[in-house]
Amino acid sequence: MKNDLLTGSMVNVFSSVSAILVGLLVGFLILLVSNASQAMGGFWAIFSSGFSSKREMGQVLYFATPIIMTGLSVGFSSRTGLFNIGASGQFIMGAYAAVLVGVKCGFLPGHIHWMTALLAAMLAGALWGAIPGIFKAFFNVNEVIACIMMNYVGMYLVNFLITKTIFDSLKNQSLRVADGANLPRMGMDHIFREGYNVSSANSGIFLAIISAVLIYVILEKTSFGYELKACGFNREAARYAGINERRSIITSMFISGAMAGLGGALLYLAGSGKGITVVDVLAPEGFNGIAVALLGLNHPLGIIFSGLFVAYLNVGGFNMQLYDFAPQVIEIIIAVIIYFSAFALLVKGFFSSLKNYRGQTGSPSGRECKENDLKRRQGAACT
């Protein structure tokens, strides 16, 4: 059993690494075709930029925080048999709720203010995620279709609400939140800085890690998580065992939405001055969460490391401009990694099938066992 677990872990690591390597290879080929003379320098910038200074290291943590949360959103739903492709809509709904509280509730005390904003974001994202869950549970509507629709509804709804409530017409974005609504820095502004150039790192990364650990405990250490996973594996069997499948589906999407909504709050309450821009574009953090979840194989702890990796690539993309490359090359690399993450799952399935085949050919079948037993009995009778 221990050897089986070790082999499974090695296959999981290999499948994720293979997806990353293929994505990086494609990215290097794009750089080579675009500008061969600068390709090596630009490619090296991807790997070295994240560690080039303390500030850049802080920026990696800042960019990793929201995509870890959306990765947890996608990963949690996948572990319970659902595909939450609506993390983008839940993310922006949570972001709006957090910014709204941050702007309008300046009368709240400091710690109460940002905590209230986080709770509002989780509630908004959870409710937005529960809607596709309700359609799935009661009307058997495919959650992928419902989530895609909710993404666009959420985007347009937030744009409308911002212009009516917290709009900064000069910057075409939401108003700046009150200082008390920003997350505590916990000394990270003194650690991750270069002179007067301070990173946006804050306590949000710790909240993301705590959320991952909490999701792991729920899924692996509680009967509640067992019921959610059982319903995802086989709804009919779960129903036969007395599990309320409708409640499980809605609860799973509710929790997934809460994680994505919290990610939106952690991005816009970081004290970086970033506001929600009024544009007809879906939040990319939601779709990056899919790549993070796939690379982490939907495991909460693996999602932490894959989120840090994707954020590291994004930071490297900004410095590629020094070599006359557009930072969008990183988006292409991430997109390729998403596609080949599915290939990683195929690799994992291939090794599992190969292992099962070797186990079957290495041991006698049931029929052979019966024939051998019959021969032994006949030999004993003759003697």
pLDDT: which is higher, 263 or 360: 263
User: Do 177 and 318 fall into the same domain?
Assistant: yes
List strand residue ranges (DSSP E) for the chain, in order: 167-168, 173-174, 193-194, 197-198
Is 195 in the same domain as 334? no
Strands (E), 251-296: none
Domain shared by 151 and 234, yes or no: yes
On whether residue 41 sits in a domain, the answer given is no
Residue where a domain stops, chosen among 324, 348, 366: 324
Do 69 and 212 have their domain in common? yes
SS3 sequence of 71-113: HHHHHHHHHCCCCCCCHHHHHHHHHHHHHHHHHHCCCCCHHHH
- What pLDDT score was predicted for residue 132? 97
Sign of CA dihedral 316, 322, 328, 329: negative
**Is position 42 within any domain?**
no
Alpha helix ranges (H) inside the chain: 2-34, 39-48, 54-79, 87-104, 110-139, 143-165, 188-191, 204-221, 223-233, 235-240, 245-268, 284-295, 300-319, 328-362, 366-382
Helix, strand, coil share (%) of the chain residues, nearest 5: 80, 0, 20
Would you say residue 115 lies in a domain?
A: yes
CB 212 within 8 A of CB 67: no
Q: How far is CA 304 from the centre of its chain?
A: 9
Q: Are 143 and 287 contained in the same domain?
A: yes
Residue 220 and residue 356 in one domain:
no
Place 238 in a pLDDT band, splitting at 50, 70 and 90: confident
Is 304 within the bounds of a domain? yes
pLDDT digits (tens, 9 = 90+) for 147-160: 999 999 999 999 99
- Residue 46 within any structural domain of the chain: no
Residue 240: predicted pLDDT = 87
Q: How many CA atoms lie within 13 A of 244 on its CB side?
A: 8
pLDDT mean over 171-197? 91
Residue 200 pLDDT exceeds 60: yes
> pTM to 2 decimals?
0.87
pLDDT band of residue 347 (cuts 50, 70, 90) is: low
**Is residue 44 one of the residues assigned to a domain?**
no
Q: Which of 293, 324, 355 is the last residue of a domain?
A: 324
- If asked whether residues 277 and 377 sit together in one domain, one would say no
At residue 5, does pLDDT exceed 90? no
Q: How many folded domains does the chain comprise?
A: 2
Do 157 and 63 belong to one domain?
A: yes
Evaluate whether residue 49 is within a structural domain. Answer: no
| Better pLDDT: 220 or 294 | 220
Q: What is the mean pLDDT of residues 94-114?
A: 95
Domain boundary among 286, 306, 324: 324
Query: Count of residues for the chain?
Result: 383
**pLDDT (0 to 100) of residue 2:** 47
Which range marks the domain in which residue 136 is found?
54-324
Task: Give the pLDDT of residue 376.
Answer: 57
Residues 22 and 166 occupy one common structural domain: no
Percentage of the chain exceeding pLDDT 70 = 86
Q: Are residues 196 and 308 in the same domain?
A: yes
Residue 40 in any domain: the answer is no
Question: Are 81 and 122 in a shared domain?
Answer: yes
φ, ψ (nearest 5 deg) of residue 210:
-60, -40
pLDDT at 68 over 80: yes
Query: Do 9 and 143 lie in a common domain?
Result: no
Strand partners, 277: 173
- Residue 104 tokens read as 């309008």
Give the CATH number, domain containing residue 289.
Answer: 1.10.3470
